[in-house]
Amino acid sequence: MAALKYAGLDDTDSEDELPPGWEERSTRDGWLYFANHGEEKTQWEHPKSGKRKRVAGQLPYGWEQETDAGGQVFYVDHLNKRTTYLDPRLAFTVDEAGPAQGAPGGGGRQRYDGNATAMEILQGLDLTGRVALVTGANAGLGFETAKSLALHGATVLLGCRDAARADEARRRILQEWHKARVESLPLDLASLGSVRRCARAFLARGLPLHLLVCNAAVFAPPWRLTEDGLESTFQTNHLGHFYLASLLREALRRAAPRARVVVLASESHRFTDIRDSSSGKLDLALLSPPREQYWPMLAYNRSKLCNILFSSELNRRLSPSGVTCNAVHPGNMMYTSLHRSWWLYSLLFTLARPFTKSMQQGAATAVYCATSPDLEGLGGMYFNNCCRCLPSQQAQDEGAAAALWELSERLIRERTAANEPV
């Protein structure tokens, strides 16, 4: 039985390192003890720190504890079909006199990095009673985000353009856990009418909205105008999510102070500008350009800059009422369905696939920002690999964020009836 390596676990503290010849084991009720094979003795206290420790919480999802013929406890990972004598909860040990390592205020240094998965982020969290809406949840990052939240007890609504693919995603989640609470809502972010109908359908349920994950996006498609007369990348990646969050703001406020919005952005936001070079003002022609001025990758980069500006301004406006918002970068060149618009993109992403994150790893930062107790009441930030980092200078421009908000409101007003109720 091979021991498993848990990504993100900081086990380099010299105080916690075992001397040669010692082994860490756990009892049925979760207490750790230490065996010295050379001296053939066992003890409760750590041989270097002198502390007693206990394994915290329930086993991670998909794990089961069993006992072999010799009475030795071992653990089975049914999802990955692996067996080990190493308790998977060792990442969350508790000192006899202190809280779990990695918990806020705890003595440990549980760290997440680019190898962490969404399921590892959620280990030990019970999301029962929380309601989440994830856009673009039928595949890729959105599916892994929605699945991970649902498998930890949240009621998850899949906001998807394709009803058949949404139903298939729901079926796949229920196959993993038949008690998962997951439903689908029709949502096409390239249609303001569809966004409005989706919001109405959600609000009709009278539910609070604890987690809104703005995940859906298109990546560098050919130039196309939407039914609302705007360039499709700008409307799908930014304006549709802006409108959805605006329509659902009261549902978010009802869930305060536990309400969070997560906006998926990208490091690509660093390679563009959305201001006119001569006036320095926000330029709609750059955000929704005519065909002859359209460059697919540049349009994508601009939409991702809009995501961060929108996230920070939304947090500024809603945080006084207990709703926070953060933007995240999921990872570079991950093999999602985003790149399907051109064969060359598919080739490049295929070549990069062995060196990029898995979908579970890509979903980790969004799930971290949506659920981590460490971020209670904190927003207006940008995260990469579950760590806060600074976005570009323009993404930090409060004036640009306010101008984008005003422009977005005007574009929606011009395309919807001014007195039309949600």
Token look-up 């949240």 returns 154
CA distance 371 to 380: 15
CB of 18 closer than 8 Å to CB of 24: yes
Catalytic residue among 75, 300, 345, 382: 300
Question: Nearest-CA neighbor of 219 among 230, 233, 231, 229?
Answer: 233
Let me know if 243 is a catalytic residue: no
CB of 251 closer than 8 Å to CB of 157: no
Cα-flanking dihedrals φ and ψ of residue 250, to 5°? -70, -35
CA distance 240 to 401: 16
Catalytically active residues, by annotation: 300
